[in-house]
Chain A
């Protein structure tokens, strides 16, 4: 299956020469719509090398990509079933991509050929697979990736469309796998790259259903009746009550631009995502290519995502909430963005 290195090298060099020639032609990039899907006629273009994708744990986002032509990108995710705290007093058996909820953030570029390996840990109870919404292909990869405990599967896909996409386990019963925390985000940068900002963060909402009520102590089993009734005990950012509070709070300095990649794993709830005291300068609505400006609250479908940009103007603690507000008040859907820096009285000032 593998091309000999020398052959690879020569094609790499010749392609580089071609790319250079094309690159030198004035205006060749003009008029390219950054949101356009990858030009399928270029699909047989030889890839310019292989890289391992940087994977990060929320709320961190991999560094922006610096390469400018399609590569083979290797991604390996490991499914781990483990007991973790869902609140300070409560444990839950999470099923995870990478040992935490949400799963690792994956960053690739439009046109990349993603070589994806899914490993299922040896001590897993059940089989798992992955459906990446960034995939154009059967089951989003799930048909090719049902993986027994202790085994691995491998498939490849072309990242055709830019945007940030949800991935999740799609092994039957899908709702159980998602309810146990099996979701994450994959960013496909447009060929022109994402506009530069000072800070990027990864936030993902999910709802959880336990036998005991919110905060009930001890290891709690999944409650199928509550899940079917769509009546969650927990609605959380990043898999744990207070994950983004205190030590875990997101931070920025005044004057900085902040971008949040916000996904919603569900399985049931649609998020009314809002940051109290901020207005989103830009919302990539449903993480697609249409940009809305000056938005207070944006909807994030279950199994969908959004990208929001804002500027830190006034120091203080800003709350990330699902503005379906009982969820924020009673079920955990709350996080913090702490902005430090000089006061900005021309924008906000307490008078009395």
Chain B
């Protein structure tokens, strides 16, 4: 009997631990397998079969990133190498380990001013990884679940045509898409694993292959939908990035392979 009680107790403890870890663990959404049609039509970029994968339901928040910084001293603002994160890294936080009272509305907002290296390290720490451009774009094309804002493209363009808000809104403050992801557009830009493999020269209009010039009229020679201005903006933005850049409207979310 005594053994039985001990067993029950142990089980209960274990269960509650599991429950607790589940509740603090970020929810991931299963992105179903399907076909991804790349925005640019280049050799080797034909429509691709995508396997199912898991993606964070929302962007990583300041509160979540703080846990990472606490556990990984080398990613504190005062410690980080400038090669891995420029001087803007987490500049709005009060200190290394304090988001700060003046940022109290931001705890549940996406972390921004983080470099690609920092985002990648965070993902690894979580046992996850950054999405590829293909994965991100595939996940981001899912339409709005419930919106009278018209098409996804018009929704995105309306976002671009407003200046950045003074205080970055919280996660889940824009829209949910049919995959169950929140804020894929309309809140921040997000890092991707291979953000510069497509357009490498730091100029959005040139590709390493010289096949593609993403500028003036030539930018439209190879694209799927010439009027998809929202996609052009994303690819141009990615093309301007370097891995150590930390920018006001650039954050990230993670993905994970399905076992």
Contacts and interface: CB of A to CB of B under 8 A. Distances in A.
Interface string B66-90: 0000000000000000000000100
Interface stretch (B43-51, B52-60, B153-161): B153-161
Contacts of A193: none
B193 interface: no
A127 B160 CA distance: 11
Nearest to B241: A148
Q: Is the interface of B mostly helix, strand, loop or mixed?
A: loop
Given A123-B163, A150-B248, A172 B203 contact: no
B160 A174 contact: no
B139 to A, nearest CB: 21
B249 A125 contact: yes
Contacts of A174: 215-216, 219
Interface size class of B (residues with CB under 8 A): 35 or more
B237 interface: yes
Contact of B236 (A126, A143, A219): A126
B245 interface: yes
A170 B205 contact: yes
A170 B161 CA distance: 18
Contact of A171 (B88, B236, B245): B236
B5 to A, nearest CB: 61
A93 B162 contact: yes
Contact of B161 (A150, A171, A222): A222
A129 B232 CA distance: 14
B245 A172 contact: no
Contacts of A150: 88, 245-248
A171 B206 CA distance: 10
B247 A129 contact: no
B158 A221 contact: yes
B229 A224 contact: yes
A31 interface: no
Given A147-B240, A174-B219, A224-B157, A125 B163 contact: yes
Contact of A176 (B163, B229, B235, B250): B229
Interface range for A: 35 or more
Contacts of A81: 163
Contacts of B239: 127, 146
A174 B223 CA distance: 14
A122 B247 CA distance: 7
Contacts of B164: 123-125
Interface in B214-259: 214-216, 219, 227, 229, 232-233, 235-237, 239-242, 245-250
Contact of B240 (A123, A125, A146, A228): A146
Contacts of A146: 201-205, 236, 239-240
A149 interface: yes
20 contacts: A93-B163, A123-B248, A126-B236, A127-B240, A131-B215, A131-B216, A139-B205, A143-B201, A146-B205, A146-B236, A146-B240, A148-B245, A149-B248, A150-B245, A171-B236, A172-B235, A174-B215, A176-B229, A176-B232, A222-B157
Given A93-B163, A148-B242, A151-B247, 19 more contacts: A82-B163, A83-B163, A123-B163, A126-B160, A127-B237, A129-B204, A142-B205, A143-B203, A143-B206, A145-B203, A150-B246, A150-B248, A172-B204, A172-B219, A172-B232, A173-B233, A174-B216, A222-B157, A224-B227
Interface of A: 81-83, 93, 122-127, 129, 131, 138-139, 142-151, 153, 170-174, 176, 219, 221-222, 224, 228
